[in-house]
């Protein structure tokens, strides 16, 4: 059985940026459409959009004004807020923003900007998040995601394990034959032995989910 280990790319040390507050902003474009984005410097990012150096969307849909901006917190929180706003239709975006105080109100409803504990991110949302995180197009992000999952499935199907250091390990496992019960009738039934895929989360992943900060290396 082989084992494939992949180290994630090193994260640059930029303490000043990590300590900055990320903002969610909303632009109105020349065709009447709305564009949501995140940044740590709203004015600088708006100027980039105006000069054609911002997002791909605003290069072909020139922004005409900055509707609103709101400090959210960390980059991760801002990304979740952005995805939540982008899932809403135009008229609901405006309603959500007004009710949260982004357009002049006073009370911010942070529930509007979180996916919630029970939200299930679908493939298109994951592709959008990857594209945003890596600063690539959605088409490129979809190719990367599809190629990654295909490579993992192929390796595990052959009996290999795939380890993404810090994230986790994908592998196969033998499940012995056993006796179960039909949930409708309660009668016993034979369940055949099978080889099934398994995933074991890595320490970094576990700590992130638990809300723990990674320990600094001495």
Q: d(Cα 29, Cα 134) in Å, to the nearest integer? A: 24
Q: Strand ranges (DSSP E) for 74-115? A: none
Would you give the distance in Å from CA 103 to the centre of its chain? 26
Determine the CATH number of domain 20-119. 3.40.1440
Same fold, 20-119 and 140-210: no
Q: Which CATH number fits domain 140-210: 1.10.40.30, 1.10.1040.10, 4.10.520.10, 3.30.70.890?
A: 4.10.520.10
User: For 36-93, what is each residue's pLDDT tens digit?
Assistant: 889 999 999 999 999 988 888 898 889 998 888 888 888 888 888 888 888 888 877 7
Q: d(Cα 168, Cα 196) in Å, to the nearest integer? A: 17
pTM of the prediction?
0.47
Q: Per-domain residue ranges for the chain?
A: 20-119, 140-210
User: For 147-203, what is each residue's pLDDT tens digit?
Assistant: 999 999 999 999 999 999 999 999 999 989 888 887 778 888 888 889 999 999 999
């Amino acid at each position: 059985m082989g084992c494939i280990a992949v180290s994630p790319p090193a994260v640059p040390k930029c303490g000043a940026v990590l300590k900055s507050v990320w903002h969610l902003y909303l632009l109105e474009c020349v065709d009447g459409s709305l564009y949501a984005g995140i940044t740590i410097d709203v004015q600088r990012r708006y100027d980039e959009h105006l000069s054609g150096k911002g997002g791909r969307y605003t290069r072909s849909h020139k922004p005409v004004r900055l509707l609103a901006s709101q400090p959210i917190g960390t980059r991760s929180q801002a990304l979740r807020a952005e995805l939540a706003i982008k899932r809403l239709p135009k008229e609901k975006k405006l309603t959500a923003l007004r009710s949260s105080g982004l357009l002049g109100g006073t009370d911010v409803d942070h529930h509007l900007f979180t996916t919630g504990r029970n939200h299930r991110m679908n493939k298109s949302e994951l592709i959008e998040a990857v594209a945003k995180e890596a600063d690539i197009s959605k088409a490129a992000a979809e190719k990367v995601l599809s190629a990654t999952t295909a490579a993992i499935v192929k390796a595990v199907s052959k009996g290999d394990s795939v380890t993404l250091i810090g994230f986790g390990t994908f592998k196969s496992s033998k499940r012995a034959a056993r006796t179960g019960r039909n949930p409708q009738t309660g009668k016993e039934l034979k369940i055949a032995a099978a080889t099934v895929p398994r995933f074991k989360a890595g320490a970094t992943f576990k700590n992130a989910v638990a809300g723990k900060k990674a320990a600094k290396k001495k």
